[in-house]
Each structure stands twice: as C-alpha cells, then as structure tokens.
C-alpha cells in the first residue's frame, strides 16, 4: 500500500503542491478537491520513497504547512500597510515568519506520525489523530490561532458543515482528514484492503452530505414577532491616525446610518469593533460630551445600542485597557448603560505581548507598537441586557475558537443569539475577511444559535443557526449601509453545545489505540 516516489526534488514539489491545494480548498476559493491533499500528505509522510527518517518527515510536514499558511494568512500583510511609513517594511518578514512558525505544527505532526510508524488501513486513523491533535495545539498555544482548521474548509451553511453541530470544528476536522486519507488509498487500487479504505472514505463524505441535507431540510422559519436587528457597516477604513474632522465625520456617518428609516423599528442597533477610533467609551459616552447627544439623537426610546469600543478601568496610576462591547438602552432620559463585555481571547503581538517582560527588555514591544496592550476579561458568558434576548458576545478574533460560545444545555445558561463585532478593516479588500466570516459562522452551527456580525468594511451579516446567510442579509466588502433583519430562531441545544469536544477527544483516543494495534497486527 505504498506509492512509489523517487527523487528529492519531486518530493519537495509534491509537498508544496499538497500545502497549496489544501489552502485553496477554503472559501472564497472553495476548491474542495484540494481536501484530497491531506491524503497526499499521509502518503508523503509514509516515506514511500524509502526515506523514512524522522528528519525527512519533519521537513515534509513543515514545507506543506508553510505553503498552506503563506496562502491562508498572507493578508496579514495589509495590517502593516495601514501605517506603511512606520511598519510597512515589516510586512514581508511578518508574513513569512508567521507561516514558517505555524508550519512547525505540521512538521511536528509529521515527525510524530513517522515515529509511530503505523501500518495498514489503521494508519488513516493515526494520521488524522496526529494531524488534528497538532491543529488543536495550534488553536490553544499562546491563546491560540485556529485559522482555517481542515473541517472548516466546507462552506459554512453547506450540508457537510452541519456535522459541526455534533462534533464541533475540531471533530469535523478529524472526520475530514480521515476521509481524505482513506480516499488516498485508491492510488493502490490493486490492493483489496486499499479499495475498502477508499470506499470507506467515500462513504463518510456521502454521509456528511446526506445527513447535512436532511438537517437543513427541517430548518425552522423566522417568527413573525422576532426582534428586528440593525447591523451598521460604515465602510470606514483603518487609518494610522485621526484628526478632529475625521472623528466628527465618523460619528456623523454612524449616526446617519443608525437613524436611517426602517420598515420596522429595530430592537437593537449594532456597531462594529472599535467603532469610534482613538476615543475610549469612557469619553464618547460620557455625560457632557458632544458625542453622547449626537448618538442619542439617532435612537428611539426602547432601542438598544451595542458598540464595539475600548474602555479604561483601574486607577490613574495603573490604568487597565479593555477591548469591550458596551450595551446601552435608550430611555426617555437618554442612553442608560445596560451591560459590558470585555474581550477574553486577545491577539498575541497585536493586543498583548507574550512573555511581556522579556519582550520589553529586548525592545520588541516598541518595535511592533503593542505598548501595554489590553487586559483580558472573564471567559465569555451570556450577558442579559434590558429589553433584549440573552446574547453571547464574541469580539473579532474570539469567533475563531470552537466551543468558546458554547453555553451548555440549560436554558438559564444559554444565550438566544451571538453577536460578533470585528474590525476586519485592518485587512483591506483581501480574502482574509471573507475567510473570517466563514470561520465565525461555524460558531453558529456549533451552538445552534443565530449570529449578528458587524464589521466596519465588511463582511457584515445576519447568520442563521445553520451557518447560512440569506439573500440581502449581508453587506459586501467596501459597501456602506445597514442590514435590517429579524433575529432568526435559536435551535434546541446541539450535541456539541451539550458535550463540547467529547467526540474529538474520543477520536484522538481512537487514534492512539489504532497506533498500537497497527504496529502489532497491521490490517
């Protein structure tokens, strides 16, 4: 069951092609045959060309991973162009370094797989377990960066993506990688066991499509009395600094969009992360400021406003900065604060500095302009604001994390919807924001909760509990406007909402058992 490979350079080229093909399977490309690249990686890591050393396996995994992340995360380049005069020169180094570091996770996975040296059909399970265990570590180390997990290559809202409601994104990743590896057995079509393995892989894919289509066929309609939600997208691009005139123009744009006529008065208006730049919520929502009456003028009594902002707490001598979602409700006497959520998962090197003391001494903090950074808030939990269904907030980067929005199965612990405010303006008109939308939509599938997503420049959207975006329920990149949509219904708690990563951990345990068995009795 080995595929003959000869020559160092052909092997290197195949590793690079495998990484690129896997990357192109994700939206917005959606080249799903690229998922077969994971099976190709297994064959390469098997060392079928006779090169079975741990070192060769590591470099093969690292090469594929580095190419994958170069394609998947190159849009980081755009963030450095916002202040190109000071940071533009760092962009190519940052992109290359990020891809090379993330590629190490795949390199270590390949090394571990080669060290286990599984044989027979069971090596498919071992490969999927080792690969996805490395992906889990990538999603947790130093707060984690779970960008483009294999299971999230399926477009959110599609039939195969519905399996995330049972297994979560990590569990679906295991199933996806295992199916790909099983299908790879087809290259050895003369071997009966290989044909069985390929048939099993095809069956898994068909089950994903069939079961997902059945789930979508029973989707619940939106209730006639569902709360109306307005999502504001001002198309405000990121700038290195803002003048007083810029500040007034931004506030005026938000006010105009918020007060735009509506067929039905919204119960809540949502502004994106960092909506009012260079000004803490403590200032622009403070009594006596000119901004507060301007914002109040756009709202009707009973309407709530959610604003992504930063706020300052602590003492004057030791201030604490939080990336925050502020919820207020308009009363006859003005805006009344109702709830606050402080971001829990912060972006390393963007919102906080890992190994802060050491990096400060090395001067790295000053180089990347992190400063003292933000402080993390408590783990996400539903907030209950007056006049609104309980909401699970997620700020930007937090929407990448499987399970972070999981509130459990008890009604008292569970939100009715998710609000994701994000500032994807940092990444321009690249496909980074499009992929962020797809990844965030998986949190709706996992929890069975609809999601309202607001960004300054797109893509903003109302996403139902199946991860779908209906006609007219989104604003594209570079568009300015509002989305007025009734809140889609929440579903009963999904299996993932009840059990979390239980299935995924079971898959990893199965892979460990398969590794022992395959070494002793290859099948």
Average pLDDT over residues 340-356: 82
Give domain status of residue 126, yes or no. Answer: yes
Kindly state whether residues 188 and 109 are assigned to the same domain. Answer: yes
- Determine, yes or no, domain membership for 138: yes
Active site residue 119: no
Pick from 235, 292, 296: which is nearest to 482 by CA?
A: 235
Q: What are the structure tokens assigned to 375, written together? A: 């402080």
First-to-last alpha carbon distance for the chain, in angstroms, is: 11
Grouping H, G, I as helix, E, B as strand and the rest as coil, residue 183 is helix
| Ramachandran bin of 393, using left for φ above 0, alpha for ψ from -120 to 50, beta for the remaining angles | beta
Here the CATH number for the domain that contains residue 457 is 3.60.110.10
Non-local CB neighbours of 328 within 8 Å, separated by 6+ positions: 285, 304, 305, 307, 335, 336, 337, 338
Provide the token pair at 166. Answer: 């049972």
Q: Within 10 A of 84 (CB to CB), how many other CB atoms are there?
A: 11
The residue to which tokens 């504001």 are assigned: 232
* Farthest CA pair distance, the chain: 80
* CA dihedral of residues 233, 236, 242, 247 (deg, nearest 10): -40
In the prediction, which pLDDT does 466 show?
98
Selection from 271, 265, 280, 277 nearest residue 240 by Cα: 277
> Is residue 288 packed enough to be buried (19+ CB in 10 Å), middle (13-18) or exposed (0-12)?
exposed
- Please give the radius of gyration of the chain, using alpha carbons only, rounded to the nearest integer: 24
Q: Are residues 73 and 111 in the same domain?
A: yes
Selecting among 119, 343, 446, 501, the annotated active-site residue is 343
Told to judge if 15 belongs to the known catalytic residues of this protein, a careful annotator would answer no
Residue 340 has pLDDT above 50, yes or no: yes
Q: How many Cβ atoms sit within 10 Å of the Cβ of residue 147?
A: 19
C-alpha 331: how far from its chain's center? 36
| Residues 465 and 319 occupy one common structural domain | yes
pLDDT at residue 3 tops 60: no
The per-residue pLDDT of the chain, averaged, comes to 92
- Cα torsion 127, 133, 135, 137 to 10°: value is -150
210 part of a folded domain: yes
Residue labelled with tokens 């902002």: 309
Pairing assessment for the beta strands 304-314 and 268-270 based on DSSP bridges: parallel
State pLDDT tens for residues 378-413: 998 999 988 899 999 999 999 999 999 987 656 677
> What would the DSSP string read from start to end of 59-76?
HHHHHHHHHHHHHHHTTH
Residue 32 lies in a domain: yes
Q: What is the mean pLDDT of residues 58-63?
A: 97
Gap between the Cα atoms of 192 and 203, Å rounded: 17
Find the helix or strand (DSSP H, E) in which 228 lies.
strand 228-233
Give the residue, 148 or 317, on which the prediction is more confident.
Answer: 148
Which of these is catalytic: 238, 273, 351, 446? 273
Range list of β-strands (E), 265-400:
268-270, 304-314, 319-331, 334-342, 391-395
Q: Does residue 30 sit in the same domain as residue 142?
A: yes
The pLDDT of residue 520 is 79
State whether 177 and 290 are in the same domain: no
pLDDT confidence bin for 9, thresholds 50/70/90: confident
Pair (248, 162) in one structural domain: no
Looking at the fold, whether 190 and 93 belong to one and the same domain comes out as yes
Q: Rounded mean pLDDT of 196-206?
A: 96
Q: Note the pLDDT tens digit of each residue in 298-310.
A: 999 999 999 999 9
pLDDT at residue 519, rounded to an integer: 79
Which pLDDT band, with edges at 50, 70 and 90, does 220 fall under?
A: confident
Does pLDDT of 345 surpass 60?
yes
Across the beta sheet with 460-463, what order do the strands follow?
391-395, 417-421, 451-454, 460-463, 474-475
Residues 162 and 42 in one domain: yes
Query: How many independent structural domains does the chain possess?
Result: 2
Region of poorest pLDDT, from 186-195, 343-352, 363-372: 363-372
In a domain, 56, yes or no: yes
Q: Are residues 66 and 187 in the same domain?
A: yes
Structure confidence at residue 354 as a pLDDT band (50, 70, 90) = low
| CA dist., res. 304 & res. 236, Å (int) | 22
Q: 254 and 127: one domain?
A: no
349 part of a folded domain: no
Rounded to the nearest 5 degrees, what angle is found at the Cα of 60, between the Cα atoms of 54 and 64?
A: 145
Residues whose CB falls within 8 Å of the CB of residue 242, separated by 6 or more in sequence, listed in order: 250, 277, 278
d(CA 73, CA 51): 31
Q: Higher pLDDT residue, 174 or 49?
A: 174
What integer pLDDT is reported at residue 350 of this predicted model?
77
Say yes or no to pLDDT of 185 above 80: yes
- Mean pLDDT along residues 446-464: 97
pLDDT tens track for 91-123: 999 999 999 999 999 999 999 999 998 988 999
**Would you state the pLDDT for residue 446?**
97
Is the confidence at residue 189, as pLDDT, over 70?
Answer: no
> Where does 50-148 have alpha helices with state H?
54-73, 76-81, 84-87, 91-116, 123-138
Q: Quick one: pLDDT band at residue 372, thresholds 50, 70, 90?
A: low
352 in any annotated domain: no
Determine which helix (DSSP H) or strand (DSSP E) holds 418, and give its type and residue range.
Answer: strand 417-421
- Decide if 117 is inside a domain: yes
Residue from 236, 303, 351, 396 carrying the catalytic annotation: 396
Distance from C-alpha of 260 to C-alpha of 124, rounded to nearest angstrom: 56
Cα 21 to Cα 102: distance, rounded to the nearest angstrom = 17
Can you read off the two tokens belonging to residue 55? 């070192």
To the query of whether residue 343 is one of the catalytic residues in this protein, the response is: yes
Q: Report percent pLDDT > 90 for the chain.
A: 82
Same domain, 76 and 154: yes
Check whether residue 252 and residue 122 sit in a common domain.
no
pLDDT classification of 370: cutoffs 50, 70, 90: very low
Distance separating alpha carbons of residues 163 and 178, to the nearest angstrom: 15
Side-chain-facing half-sphere of 281: CA atoms under 13 Å: 27
**What average pLDDT does the segment 50-70 reach?**
92
Mean pLDDT of the region 322-332: 96
Cα gap 36→180, rounded to integer Å = 5
Range of the domain at 327: 228-344+379-490
Report, as an integer, the average pLDDT of 11-22.
97
Cβ atoms < 10 Å from Cβ of 409: 14
Percentage of the chain beyond pLDDT 70 is 93
Strand pairing category for 451-454 and 417-421: parallel
Measured in residues, the chain has a length of 523
Give the span between the Cα atoms of 144 and 52, in whole angstroms. Answer: 31
DSSP string, 138-163: HTTGGG---TT-GGGGSPTTSTGGGG
352 three-class SS = strand
């Amino acid at each position: 069951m080995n595929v003959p490979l000869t020559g160092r350079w052909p092997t290197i080229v195949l590793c690079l092609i495998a990484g690129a093909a896997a990357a192109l399977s994700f939206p917005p490309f959606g080249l799903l045959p690229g998922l077969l690249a994971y099976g190709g990686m297994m064959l390469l890591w098997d060392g079928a060309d006779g090169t079975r050393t741990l070192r060769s396996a590591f470099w093969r995994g690292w090469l594929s991973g580095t190419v994958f992340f170069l394609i998947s995360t190159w849009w980081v380049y755009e963030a450095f162009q916002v202040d190109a005069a000071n940071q533009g020169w760092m962009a190519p180094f940052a992109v290359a370094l990020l891809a090379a570091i993330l590629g190490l996770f795949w390199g270590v996975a390949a090394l571990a797989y080669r060290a286990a040296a599984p044989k027979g059909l069971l090596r498919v399970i071992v490969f999927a377990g080792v690969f996805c265990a490395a992906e889990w570590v990538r999603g947790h180390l130093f707060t984690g960066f779970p960008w483009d997990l294999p299971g999230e290559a399926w477009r959110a809202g599609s039939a195969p993506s519905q399996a995330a409601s049972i297994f979560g994104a990590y569990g679906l990743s295991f199933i996806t990688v295992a199916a790909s590896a099983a299908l790879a057995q087809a290259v050895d079509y003369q071997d009966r066991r290989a044909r069985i393995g390929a048939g099993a892989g095809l069956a898994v894919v068909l089950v994903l499509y069939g079961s997902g289509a059945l789930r979508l066929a029973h989707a619940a309609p939106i209730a006639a009395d569902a709360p109306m939600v307005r999502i504001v997208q001002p198309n405000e691009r990121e700038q290195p600094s803002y003048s007083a005139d810029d500040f007034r123009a931004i506030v005026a744009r938000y006010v105009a969009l918020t007060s735009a006529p509506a067929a039905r008065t919204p119960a809540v208006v949502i502004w994106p992360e960092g909506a009012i730049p260079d000004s803490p919520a403590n200032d622009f929502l403070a009594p006596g400021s000119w901004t507060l009456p301007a914002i109040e003028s756009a709202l009707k009594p009973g309407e709530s406003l959610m604003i992504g902002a930063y706020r300052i707490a602590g003492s004057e001598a030791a201030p604490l900065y939080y990336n925050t979602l502020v919820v207020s409700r308009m009363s006859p006497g003005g805006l009344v604060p109702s709830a606050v959520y402080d971001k829990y998962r912060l972006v390393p090197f963007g919102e906080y500095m890992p190994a802060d003391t050491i990096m400060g001494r090395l001067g790295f903090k000053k180089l990347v302009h992190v400063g003292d950074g933000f402080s993390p808030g408590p783990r996400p939990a539903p907030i209950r604001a007056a006049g609104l269904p309980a909401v699970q907030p997620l700020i930007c980067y937090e929407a990448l994390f499987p399970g972070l929005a999981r509130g459990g199965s008890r009604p008292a612990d569970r939100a009715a919807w998710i609000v994701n405010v994000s500032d994807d303006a940092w990444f321009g008109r690249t496909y980074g924001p499009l992929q962020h939308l797809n990844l965030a939509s998986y949190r709706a599938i996992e929890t069975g909760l609809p999601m309202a997503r607001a960004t300054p420049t797109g893509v903003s959207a109302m996403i139902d509990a199946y991860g779908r975006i209906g006609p007219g329920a989104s604003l594209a990149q570079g568009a300015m406007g509002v989305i007025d949509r009734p809140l889609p219904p929440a579903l009963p708690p999904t299996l993932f909402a009840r059990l979390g990563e239980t299935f995924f951990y079971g898959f990893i345990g199965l892979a460990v058992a398969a590794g022992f068995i395959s070494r002793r009795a290859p099948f």
